[in-house]
Amino acid sequence: ILNVEQSPQSLHVQEGDSTNFTCSFPSSNFYALHWYRWETAKSPEALFVMTLNGDEKKKGRISATLNTKEGYSYLYIKGSQPEDSATYLCACDRGSTLGRLYFGRGTQLTVWP
Amino acid sequence: NAGVTQTPKFRVLKTGQSMTLLCAQDMNHEYMYWYRQDPGMGLRLIHYSVGEGTTAKGEVPDGYNVSRLKKQNFLLGLESAAPSQTSVYFCASSPIRRGVHQPQHFGDGTRLSIL
């Protein structure tokens, strides 16, 4: 069992606010870090897969950074919209041939209009 | 393009009953996974498979069995359902690792209640 921590557990922001949350993971045996977006009553959808220290990825108003030396990743949402309301999951890949991921418990984001 | 399909979407069982959850993927993925999601617990891996005819235990395998007789299907069985198995079950698949980092693709979930 791998300890992947996400904070905060939940977050409420107003429409237009920018927000960010954190995923921390053991830096040893690191292979990749995944971010997923999970809307209520739907299935998790992949946002980013990040591998290199200093990596930064962007998809629209959502971006993520990765620090593999200290074992954390930040997810940023610029100008939050109500449709961004979802649970954001991160998962750590330790590089086994089995493709196994270790998930955090998620950050639940609610964006109020 | 269906992706990952889970059957059924909802089910209510009585304690002691058995049932099988079906996961089917049409992406020719090698790897398949079964997770359960409980409030405050995130996704926990039950069993997984790296190919047809092979399965392995995940984090919370007790009370469940799996089979992967065909590459596209991964079945999760509950032999004698218990109230503690009330949960939302997600199936996922991913292609074989060949130096390219691939995300997992998830089904829409099966909501199972054990009375």
Residue A96 has pLDDT above 80, yes or no: no
Stretch A74-87: mean pLDDT: 96
| Residue B96 DSSP class | P
Residue B100 has pLDDT above 70, yes or no: no
B25 and B33 in contact (C-beta within 8 Å)? no
Contact list, A91 vs chain B (CB under 8 Å): 43
Give the minimum alpha-carbon distance from A42 to chain B in angstroms, rounded to a whole number: 6
Please tell me the least confidently modeled range out of A33-37, A59-63, B30-34, B37-41.
B37-41
Give the minimum alpha-carbon distance from A52 to chain B in angstroms, rounded to a whole number: 12
User: What integer best gives the mean pLDDT of chain B?
Assistant: 92
Mean pLDDT is highest, among A8-12, A98-102, B42-46, for: A8-12
Stretch B86-104: mean pLDDT: 85
Interface A–B counts its CB contacts (< 8 A) at 56
Please tell me the least confidently modeled range out of A52-56, A71-75, A99-103.
A99-103
pLDDT by residue (tens digit) across B51-68? 999 999 999 999 999 999
B89 and B106 in contact (C-beta within 8 Å)? no
- Identify the CA nearest to A61 among candidates A50, A47, A72: A47
pLDDT by residue (tens digit) across A7-20? 999 999 999 999 99
> What pLDDT is recorded for position B93?
95
> Which H, E and C letters describe A63-80, residue by residue?
EEEEECCCCEEEEEECCC
Query: What span, in angstroms and rounded, lies between the C-alpha atoms of A71 and A67?
Result: 6
Comparing CB atoms, the residue among B4, B104, B108 nearest residue A42 is B108
> What pLDDT is recorded for position A97?
61
